[in-house]
């Protein structure tokens, strides 16, 4: 059974940093594109980082230079280092994988991914 478990969220002030982790199990972690997505109240799902099985990374403009996604295939763990956090970064953050290995996802909603975690809340406020 596929399982993704996020951790590391919290309450920080603007300009501070957080590191999110996502532990995967029940699938061959190294073979999957992996995503960090977020959802703020009243807003749609926004992807903030993705990494392919070769560890190539991709970011939207809104987080480029501030967020870094990485993976440790030996630990089956996905990470998101978030620096210079802003109030607009406040959201529930989810890790997610596509429905099939080696294949990127075009998902626009969590339900379109193959699997996703329970989410971890990140709140950035003075």
Question: For residue range 5-61, what is the model confidence (pLDDT) as tens digits?
Answer: 999 999 999 999 999 999 999 999 999 999 999 999 999 999 999 999 999 999 999
Number of H helices and number of E strands within the chain? 0, 11
Which pLDDT score is estimated for 96? 97
Please, which pLDDT band fits residue 83 given cuts at 50, 70 and 90?
Answer: very high
Please, which pLDDT band fits residue 118 given cuts at 50, 70 and 90?
Answer: very high
Query: Residue range 57-86: average pLDDT?
Result: 97
Measured CA to CA, the distance from residue 117 to residue 102 in angstroms comes to 20
Which pLDDT score is estimated for 107? 87
Query: Residue range 111-123: average pLDDT?
Result: 96
Least confident of 51-60, 82-91, 102-111: 102-111
CA distances from 118 to 3, 4, 21, 64, 92 (A): 10, 8, 12, 25, 9
């Amino acid at each position: 059974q596929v399982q993704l478990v996020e951790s590391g969220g919290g309450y920080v002030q603007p300009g501070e940093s957080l590191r999110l982790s996502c532990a995967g199990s029940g699938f061959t972690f190294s073979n999957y594109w992996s995503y960090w997505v977020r959802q703020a109240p009243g807003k749609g799902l926004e992807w903030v980082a993705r990494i392919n099985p070769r560890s190539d990374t991709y970011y939207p403009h809104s987080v480029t230079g501030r967020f870094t996604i990485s993976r440790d295939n030996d630990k089956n763990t996905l990470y998101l280092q978030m620096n210079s956090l802003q109030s607009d970064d406040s959201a529930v953050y989810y890790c997610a994988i596509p429905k099939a290995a080696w294949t990127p996802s075009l998902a626009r909603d969590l339900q379109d991914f193959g699997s996703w975690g329970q989410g971890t809340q990140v709140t950035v406020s003075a």
